[in-house]
Structure 1
Amino acid sequence: MVKIVITGHGSRLSKGNSALLNSRIRLIKRFIEDSEFTIFTFHPEISYKPEMKYLKNVKISFYEVPFKFSLSFRELPKTIFSILKIVFCRSISPYLKDLREYKDADLIISTGGDVLTEDYGLVDFINYAGNLLLGIFLKKPVIIFAETVGPFKHRLSKAIAKYLLNHASLITVRGEISKKYLNTLGVNRAPQYLTADTAFLLEPPPLQILKQILEKENIKDSDILVGITVSELIPRYDFTKTRTLKDKYDKYVEIMASVTDYIIEKLGATVVFVPSVIGPVYDDRRVADRIYKIAKNKEKIRNIKNEYTCEEIKGIIGRCSIFIGARMHVTVFSTSLHIPTIAIAYSRKTYEVVGMLTDYIIDIRKGLEYDAVISVINEVWLNKEKIKEMLASRMRKVRQRALLNGILLRNFLRSLQI
């Protein structure tokens, strides 16, 4: 039995996190059938069991990540203990359950997608990097698996990233931007491959289950549906002259409410708000609620409040005529199902992961304006059949790249003669 540790998982309440984890497990099982998994998560208090609905016959156990770093005084004891774990990991690994799991693993694999970056701050990066460095210090093969790498702003983060990546056993990145950044960073020791995000391979649920979900949410399959995922996080990245975070948030809500009314009135569609993140900090449903309250055409809005698995979220999105996503992985879901997609981006990961599948990316860092959004919606709506054909053609190459992650992992494992 091949023992695989996947480290750095967030929580099931982010369906992007869940899609990464579930698609990695399925892909690895496809190429390494005799495998079992230990998942290290930052939120062990949030059960993953509901998200395992479509993962059959897989042995999985969950633990809290062994390394947790914080600048909070209240978390100081845990931070000191985490640092001591890294420094003395070899000598104390027999006595700590989490380090024993690392020590007993045949492979240690990353998850998170865009966590090897400073886009979310230096502390977040140190946390993700620290849990991978533990594997390297314990002399285990560490695989950087279908990740986005960079950017880094500080000398410290660049030094940590360069050391980590140069000591990895295999690196696969999910886009050209990261491949080039590895060279800029001075990463030249580990084998590097250009692949694609594993979530492109995630399968929607059986049709009968999807029909039950649509009925529960009062979504008529016969209606013209436009899906929208809004985000509590994304207004923070509006780098225009809007001053306060509250002003940015209010502006975002007002624009998206007006966009919603336009879609209903001019396109004759029902708008379905599809949440991608429902905790533990941000919750897309709260933004959708705010938009619903000020939108005029409430009878043509379906605001999904129930929690569904990442596979079920993908299935719902697959019923839409076009899709507008402010969370990156929902645009992975939509494009992989050949749904014409408008992505609202706040970092380069959107350009890297879905840029080859959609020409319609609105970068909120440059500002979000109603007229610009409507112009893009009209163009996508007018050309939706051509866009579907284009997506069907391009997705074949993307799926092959996503599958390459599993092939490379299997070949690496064979080279170890495990």
Structure 2
Amino acid sequence: MKRAVPKQKILNKEAFSNSNVLLIGTYSSENKGDAAMELSVANRVRKELGATVQISSPFPNIDKAFYSDFEVVFSQRRKLIRASIQLFLAFIYSLLPKATQSKFSFLILSDEGKAILNADLVIDLSGDMLTEDYGPHVAYSHFIPILMSIFLRKKVFLCAQSIGPFGLTTFLAKYIFSKVSRITVRESISYEYMKRFGLSESKLSKTADVAFLLEPAKLERTKEILKEEGLSLPKDRIILGISVSDIIQKKYDARHDVKGKFEDEFASLLDQLIETHKVFVVFVSHVTGPSETKDDRNLSKRIFSKMKNKKSGFVLSGNHRPEEIKRIISQFSLFVGARMHANIGALSVGIPIIAISYSHKTPGIMREFELGDWVHPIETLDMDKLNESILTMYKKRKTIASQISKSNERIKSVAEENIVKIKELLS
């Protein structure tokens, strides 16, 4: 049964031209998933609504160049003590009579706080960070700008995220969910979890990740990139795209209590596929910083260095934009991804994928495409079974690609609902 789509008011672009929208919650443009979400929302808000868009970033020195069309402000949320003091001052400010608040604007010290104070709508794009999966301190760091926005009486939209679970920070999460204007989640697992907070249907709804709205770069640009990289994709081979993650590597090694085990066994798996099924492997990194330890290219190169069949593999070394990576992935036969937004890139362009997961966001989104059986949780990841999955998927690739393409139309339509909600909140 199809969901009834409510009639929307026809709103002129001029009605939003004086609006200020602040995007918060992402980590860095070096994380291409973050960049895909930011660009999908920022470009649409500016183009369709004519609103002014600011982007809050913990790494403005990096992000200012990438988001050159928008103003980037510094977020100090990762400096927990300093950010907590600023949050407390914002709370004090909120208690003052509205008529006298302008005299005490000095209490709002940070650039992010000033941007919040000036915003008509604050949109949180934390992705999968509103959770204690990475520790309660990480959840709290993402709560800080949301809480500040609430204290300063701003409309807040938690947009298209995977949320939960919470432990120590449950009381803060519950408070936030009760105070924000809208919440959308991007998959059913989060939606079922969020029901426990007793939120109304008008506040909570399931949509899809806004990165599905990011259009891939033109094919000509992809040809230019591959030429610059020195890669010519063989036409007579199975092209297997690979996106690895340091999170997966560390969890796999910890599970077996052997450092380097993931690199050794994954390299061996790829060699086996090359030798038995004429596979050509291309490593695509979806996180390239902001630090060396966060750069997936380093892990990709280490795995590649341990492969025997180096002539049948390639590591893309450039720092490419998310829309460029989307188009590059479209040239592959199959994709194996440990980064969810790399997988979203593959799904967006109809490429069959096998996902390696470390949180509920991955199986949640894969189930939206009826691909739940093609997820390998890191807790039980077995290289022989992964090998078997890759070969089985290749045999079924045409059917699965058709299934993905049919689902894409629905998913992108649902992702559009996030843009509609932004318009409603600004109207």
TM-score, normalised to structure 2, is 0.87
CA distance in 2, matches of 1:302, 1:133: 45
CA distance in 1, matches of 2:85, 2:410: 45
Specify whether residues 93 and 375 from structure 1 end up closer, same or farther in structure 2 by C-alpha distance, changes over 3 A only: farther
* Counterpart for residue 294 of structure 2: 282
* Counterpart for residue 170 of structure 1: 182
CA distance in 1, matches of 2:413, 2:322: 21
Deviates more, 1:396-405 or 1:233-242: 233-242
* Counterpart for residue 426 of structure 2: 413
Contact 1:9 1:39 in 2 (8 A): no
Q: CA RMSD in A?
A: 2.0
* Counterpart for residue 380 of structure 1: 393
* Displacement after TM superposition at 1:69 (Å): 4.4
Specify whether residues 387 and 127 from structure 1 end up closer, same or farther in structure 2 by C-alpha distance, changes over 3 A only: same
TM-score, normalised to structure 1, is 0.89
* Counterpart for residue 31 of structure 2: 14
**Correspondent of 2:344 among 332, 349, 365:** 332
How do residues 197-216 of structure 1 correspond to structure 2 at under 5 angstroms?
A: 197-216=209-228
Percent identity (aligned): 30
CA distance in 1, matches of 2:399, 2:201: 43
* Displacement after TM superposition at 1:33 (Å): 2.0
Is 1:262 matched with 2:272?
yes
**Correspondent of 1:351 among 346, 363, 369:** 363
Contact 1:8 1:65 in 2 (8 A): no
* Displacement after TM superposition at 1:318 (Å): 1.1
Is 1:129 matched with 2:128?
no
Contact 2:64 2:71 in 1 (8 A): no
Is 1:102 matched with 2:82?
no
CA distance in 2, matches of 1:279, 1:183: 35
CA distance in 2, matches of 1:408, 1:340: 31
How do residues 301-320 of structure 1 correspond to structure 2 at under 5 angstroms?
A: 301-320=313-332
**Correspondent of 1:33 among 43, 49, 54:** 49
Unaligned runs of 5+ in 1: 53-57, 71-75
Specify whether residues 36 and 302 from structure 1 end up closer, same or farther in structure 2 by C-alpha distance, changes over 3 A only: same
How do residues 225-304 of structure 1 correspond to structure 2 at under 5 angstroms?
A: 225-238=239-252, 241-243=255-257, 247=258, 249-280=259-290, 281-304=293-316
Report Cα offsets for 1:45-94 as digits up to 9, x if no partner. 32342365xxxxx5x11111154443xxxxx5x25533433433435545
Is 1:24 matched with 2:38?
no
Report Cα offsets for 1:93-147 as digits up to 9, x if no partner. 4554432321111100001211111111111110111111111100010011111
* Displacement after TM superposition at 1:241 (Å): 4.8
Contact 2:253 2:262 in 1 (8 A): no
* Counterpart for residue 73 of structure 1: none
Unaligned runs of 5+ in 2: 1-17, 95-100
Specify whether residues 80 and 143 from structure 1 end up closer, same or farther in structure 2 by C-alpha distance, changes over 3 A only: closer
CA distance in 1, matches of 2:152, 2:230: 52
**Alignment-mate amino acid for residue 87 of structure 1:** F
Specify whether residues 79 and 7 from structure 1 end up closer, same or farther in structure 2 by C-alpha distance, changes over 3 A only: closer
Contact 2:253 2:260 in 1 (8 A): no
**Alignment-mate amino acid for residue 170 of structure 1:** R
- Structure 1 counterpart SS, 2:60: coil
Report Cα offsets for 1:350-406 as digits up to 9, x if no partner. 01123222231010122x222111110111011101111111111111011101111
CA distance in 1, matches of 2:181, 2:144: 16
Contact 2:162 2:185 in 1 (8 A): yes
